[in-house]
Structure 1
Amino acid sequence: MLKIDHLHAFYGKSQVLHGVSLQLVGGEIVALLGRNGSGRSTTAKTIMGLVDARGSVLWRGQQLLGKKTYEIAQMGLGYVPESRDIFPTLTVEHNLMLGQKPGQKTGRWSMGDMYAMFPQLKARQHAPAGVLSGGEQQMLTLCRSLMGDPDLIIVDEPTEGLAPQVVMLLGQVLRQLRARGIAVLLIEQKLTIALDVSDRCYVMGHGSAVFEGTPEALRQADAIRREWLEV
C-alpha cells in the first residue's frame, strides 16, 4: 500500500532524513519510534508533501513526491499532526464536517460513529473547539481526519500530554481502525502503547531507520532500546 525507498528530506539546506525506507499494508498498525529529533515527524510531513524531499514515496504504485498536500489527502491519506490544528472558533460539529472531502456522500465513518467512539465530543458538539481540553482536541483532530474516509492515517504523537484513561481510549480506537482495514502509521514516544497496539515497528535515529521488526523483537533488542529509545 505505502512503500518508501531511500527517502531524503530537507529543511532548506539542512538534511533531516537520510535514506529512510519503510512500508505499510492495509489493516496494519506500524509504529515509528525514536527520540525527539530522530526524523519521525519529518517522515510524516514528507509523506504528506509538506517537506522538500527526494527518493520515492509510492502509494498504491503512484508517486507522492511532487504532489500537493490536498492532492495526497484526496488519494486516501489522512494526517493527524502533533499540533492538532483544530479550528478553535468553529463548533466541534463544524470541525468534523470540514474533514469530509468535497463531493463525498458516503464512507466508512459517519458523524454518529465519531460520537459513539468519543462520547465527550457528542456532549460538546455545539461548543467552540477552542474550549475543549487537550485530550478532547486530540479526539476531534483524529475524528476530523476519519471523516475524510482515509485508507491510511498518519497519527503524530497522539498521547502526548494526555491522561492515562484517554491514552487507553485512543489505543482502543486504533484497534478499531485496523479492524476496518485502515492502515495506521503511529508516531509515538511511549513504548508501552506503541508496542501494545502495533503489528510492526521501526526505530529511527539521526534521520535513518535503525531497526525494523515486531514489537516482541524490539522488546528483546536491549541494545537498540538503550541506544535509540531510552533516556
Structure 2
Amino acid sequence: MSALLEPLLEIKQLNAWYGKSHILHGVDLRVGQGEIVSLLGRNGVGRSTLVKAVMGQVSATGSVCFKGGQLLGLKAFQIAHKGVAYVPENRDIFPTLTVEQNLVLGQKRAGGGGRWTLADMYGMFPRLEERRSAPAGVLSGGEQQMLTLCRSLMGDPDLIMIDEPTEGLAPKIVALVAQYLLALKEKGVSVLLVEQKLAIALDISARVYVMGHGAIVFEGTPAALRADAGVRKEWLEV
C-alpha cells in the first residue's frame, strides 16, 4: 500500500466458516484512508464471506482492525456504529416505505452533522429526488441500487463495503455507480468494492486484490493486473 495512506482497515490471517465449511484461509488485506480497493474473483471464492466476516455476520478467527480497534467478536450493529457500512448484493431496501423514508432511516441518530445530506444524495442521483415520494418497492433495479448506496452513506461511514453494486445494471447506471464511488473518495470515505466487472474496478481503484479458493492470489495496482495475463486467465476470466 502507498506509504502516504494510513491503514483504516487491516485484516490479518482471517479464517471464516459457514458451519463446518472452511471458506476463508488466512486472508490478509488492507484499505487505506480515503482509498478505493477492489476485491476481485469468480463467484464462490469467498469474496462476500470476507465482507460478512468484517461485519460480524459469519464465524471467523484472525484479526480485523478498524481505526486501530479490533472488530472480531463485535455484533454487526456495534461495527456499524464504529463507522463501517455494508451494502449487500441483494439491495436490502424497505419496499413499502418511500425513497425519502428509506434515506432518512439511514441517518445516524446520535450527533448528526455528518458529511452527507438528503440534498447531497439527490444531487448525486437526481432520479431519486424525482421518485422521493414513491414506494421503494416500485423502483427499477438500478434505482434500488442507488437508493441502497445512498442510504448506507447517510450513516456517515468512514468505510463502505459494497458487494457487486453493478450486477444486472445497464452500462449507463454502472457509470453512475463509478462516479458515486469516486465522489466518496473525494469526501475521504474509504471503499472496499467486491466486483466481477474488471473495467469499473480497474478504472477507479488504487489497488486490487484477487481471491481464489478462499485465499488472496494477487495484490497490486490495476496496471499490474492488466499486465498479468496469467493471473487474469487463471482466476478471473470465465
Q: CA deviation at 1:23?
A: 0.3
Paired AA for residue 149 in structure 1: D
Task: Say whether 1:158 aligns with 2:169.
Answer: no
Task: Say whether 1:52 aligns with 2:51.
Answer: no
* Structure 1 CA distance for aligned equivalents of residues 81 and 214 of structure 2: 28
2:120 is matched with 113
Paired AA for residue 172 in structure 1: Q
**Runs of 5+ in structure 2 lacking a partner?**
1-7
Q: Is the partner of 2:176 in helix, strand or coil?
A: helix
1:135 is matched with 142
2:212 pairs with 196, 199, 205, which one?
A: 205
**Runs of 5+ in structure 1 lacking a partner?**
none
Task: Say whether 1:12 aligns with 2:19.
Answer: yes
1:192 is matched with 199
1:149 is matched with 156
1:79 is matched with 86
2:3 is matched with none
Q: Is the partner of 1:82 in helix, strand or coil?
A: coil
* Structure 2 CA distance for aligned equivalents of residues 87 and 49 of structure 1: 22
Q: CA deviation at 1:221?
A: 0.7
Q: Is the partner of 2:145 in helix, strand or coil?
A: helix
Q: CA deviation at 1:104?
A: 3.8
- Which TM-score applies when normalising by structure 1? 0.99
Q: Deviations over 1:192-231 (max 9, x none)?
A: 1110010000000000000000000000011100000000
2:40 is matched with 33
1:101 pairs with 95, 108, 119, which one?
A: 108
Runs of 4+ residues deviating >6 angstroms: none
Paired AA for residue 138 in structure 1: Q
1:218 pairs with 217, 225, 235, which one?
A: 225
- What's the C-alpha RMSD, in Å, of the aligned pairs? 0.6
Q: Deviations over 1:142-163 (max 9, x none)?
A: 0000000000000100000000
Paired AA for residue 89 in structure 1: T
Identity of aligned residues (%): 65
Q: Deviations over 1:112-147 (max 9, x none)?
A: 000000011000001100000000000000000000
2:182 is matched with 175
Q: Is the partner of 1:53 in helix, strand or coil?
A: strand
